[in-house]
């Protein structure tokens, strides 16, 4: 079976694994849908496009990505509308970011036709895996890595691009408690903090684990020079509602340009709310908590969607944050975004695309 637009060789699974999954108790990242899209970059072009049953990849022990970290990924979500059609949310924004990451990591970019045809063919084939349960979705994980079986330090000549999907529920079961990190850093100016590359996540694991041992769920990363300004969190961008204004650190080369973050900014503006993208100091946020001006602090990301924090810890003090009310911006934007993605409300932004 071959699709008409691009030559994608589709090899369907003999027997679906979908009955093995309890869709009423989905855990993030545990189950993977039946198929995956795979393309190989060889001799300067993407070739051998195929959809095959989800399964192990065979790799040389010398695979370049495993040694020098030429590896990057994206995170997107697909939903179903009432007519049972599969909807994608801003996939071209993810592709644009993937290609920005690729350029920084000296990797090839992915043409739109390959990305979109691979993605839509995969989503149509695995449409049954898109959950319809509340707060659930099909998480889509495109990623690329260097495949040269060579351990000299240089950019690889060959790469593999894969997309697989996972039915998921909420990323955080309850509002996370986050700690302001003032010892370790995530990214520095001129580095690659803006890129969604594997190393940015690998380097965050030990500081995050140390915080978890102290009873926190995640970190709030601060700037590398002074530990004074808020950057992002391990799994999300950071946003605050202070005195009725949506305040968020401006995108820079140390901060990931989150698709959920920029969607929330556009929605807030559409609703007539003031939005400030700028430097946000830790002192400003702690001061706003102390003066009862901070209405909410939350993480925004594909995986976490909108995730209000229960507490922020700084210099050994835990600051408990206000409960999220029905009427709060956080609650309203979460539900609006969910409704938009599931086609339950009109889409004035043109963000939702049928697979
Ligand atoms: C996402 O939100 O898609 C992410 O990539 C965050 C994370 C699960 C690593």
CATH numbers and ranges of domains, the chain: 9-168 (3.30.470.10), 177-341 (3.20.10.10)
Which residue of 235, 258, 259 sits with most ligand 1 atoms within 8 Å of its CB, as the best mutation to test the pocket? 235
CB proximity list for 211: less than 8 A, separation 6 or greater: 179, 181, 217, 218, 219
Q: What are phi and psi of 295, to 5 degrees?
A: -80, -35
- Please report the beta strands in 81-172, taking only residues with DSSP state E, as ranges in sequence order: 86-89, 137-146, 159-168
**What residue owns the CA closest to ligand 1's atom 3?**
75
What is the whole-number distance in angstroms between the Cα of residue 93 and the centre of ligand 1?
15
Give the whole-angstrom CA distance, residue 257 versus residue 300.
11
What is the whole-number distance in angstroms between the Cα of residue 290 and the centre of ligand 1?
31
Q: What pLDDT is stored for residue 1 in this prediction?
A: 47
pTM of the model: 0.95
For the Cβ of 301 lying below 6 angstroms from any atom of ligand 1, the answer is: yes
DSSP 193-254: TTS-BHHHHHTTHHHHHHHHHTT-SEEEEE-TTTS-BEEEESSSEEEEEETTEEEEEPP-TT
CA–CA distances in Å: residue 155 to residues 92, 103, 196: 26, 11, 18
Beta bridge partners of 308: 298
User: Which is higher by pLDDT, 98 or 5?
Assistant: 98
Give residue-wise pLDDT tens across range 288-305. 999 999 999 999 999 999
CA-angle at 186, arms to 89 and 216, nearest 5°: 85
What is the whole-number distance in angstroms between the Cα of residue 43 and the centre of ligand 1?
31
pLDDT for 2 beyond 90: no
Give the whole-angstrom CA distance, residue 228 versus residue 251.
16
Which residue of 90, 238, 301 sits with most ligand 1 atoms within 8 Å of its CB, as the best mutation to test the pocket? 301
CA–CA distances in Å: residue 221 to residues 74, 335, 338: 20, 27, 27
**What residue owns the CA closest to ligand 1's atom 5?**
75
For the Cβ of 235 lying below 6 angstroms from any atom of ligand 1, the answer is: yes
Mean pLDDT of the chain: 96
Give the whole-angstrom CA distance, residue 256 versus residue 109.
18
For the Cβ of 303 lying below 6 angstroms from any atom of ligand 1, the answer is: yes
Provide the Cα torsion 261, 296, 287, 193; round to 10°: -20
Within 10 angstroms of residue 84's Cβ, the number of other Cβ atoms is 10
Give the whole-angstrom CA distance, residue 254 versus residue 11.
41
Give residue-wise pLDDT tens across range 216-272. 999 999 999 999 999 999 889 999 999 999 999 999 999 999 999 999 999 999 999
What is the whole-number distance in angstroms between the Cα of residue 238 and the centre of ligand 1?
14
Q: Give the pLDDT band (50/70/90) at residue 6.
A: confident
Give the whole-angstrom CA distance, residue 74 versus residue 95.
8
pLDDT for 318 beyond 90: yes
**What residue owns the CA closest to ligand 1's atom 7?**
235
Q: What pLDDT is stored for residue 5 in this prediction?
A: 59
Give residue-wise pLDDT tens across range 166-194. 999 999 989 999 999 999 999 999 999 99
What is the whole-number distance in angstroms between the Cα of residue 211 and the centre of ligand 1?
19
Give the whole-angstrom CA distance, residue 186 versus residue 204.
6
What is the whole-number distance in angstroms between the Cα of residue 33 and the centre of ligand 1?
18
Across the range 41-56, mean pLDDT stands at: 98
Q: For the chain, what is the largest distance between any 2 Cα atoms, rounded to a whole number of angstroms? A: 64
Query: Tokens 């084939």, residue?
Result: 125
């Amino acid at each position: 079976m071959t699709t008409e637009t691009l030559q994608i060789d589709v090899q369907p699974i003999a027997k679906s694994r979908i009955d093995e999954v309890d869709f009423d108790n989905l855990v993030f990242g545990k189950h993977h849908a039946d198929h995956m899209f795979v393309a190989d970059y060889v001799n300067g072009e993407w070739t051998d496009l195929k959809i095959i049953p989800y399964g192990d990849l065979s790799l040389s022990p010398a695979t370049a990505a495993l040694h020098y970290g030429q590896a990057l990924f994206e995170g997107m979500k697909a939903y179903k509308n009432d007519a049972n059609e599969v909807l994608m949310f801003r996939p071209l924004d993810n592709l644009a970011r993937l290609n920005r990451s690729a350029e920084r990591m000296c990797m090839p970019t992915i043409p739109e036709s390959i990305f979109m045809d691979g993605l839509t063919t995969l989503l149509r084939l695995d449409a049954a895996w898109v959950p319809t349960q509340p707060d659930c979705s099909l998480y889509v994980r495109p990623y690329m890595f260097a495949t040269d079986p060579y351990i000299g330090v240089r950019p690889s000549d060959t790469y593999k691009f894969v997309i697989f999907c996972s039915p998921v529920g909420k990323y955080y079961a309850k509002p996370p408690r986050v700690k302001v990190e003032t010892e370790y850093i995530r990214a520095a100016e001129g580095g690659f903090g803006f890129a969604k590359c594997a190393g940015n996540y690998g380097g965050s694991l030990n500081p995050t684990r140390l915080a978890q041992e102290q009873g926190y769920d995640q970190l709030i990363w601060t700037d590398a020079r002074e530990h004074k300004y808020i950057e992002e969190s391990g799994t999300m961008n950071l946003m605050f509602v202070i005195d009725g204004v949506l305040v968020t650190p401006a995108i820079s080369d140390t901060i990931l340009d989150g698709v959920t973050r920029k969607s929330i900014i556009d929605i807030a503006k559409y609703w007539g709310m003031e939005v400030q993208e700028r430097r946000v100091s830790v002192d400003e946020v702690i001061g706003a908590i102390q003066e009862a001006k901070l209405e909410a602090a939350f993480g925004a990301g594909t995986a976490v969607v909108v995730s209000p924090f229960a507490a922020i810890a700084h210099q050994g003090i835990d600051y408990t944050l206000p409960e999220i009310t029905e009427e709060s911006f956080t609650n309203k934007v979460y539900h609006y975004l969910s409704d938009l993605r599931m086609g339950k409300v009109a889409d004035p932004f043109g963000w939702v695309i049928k697979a």
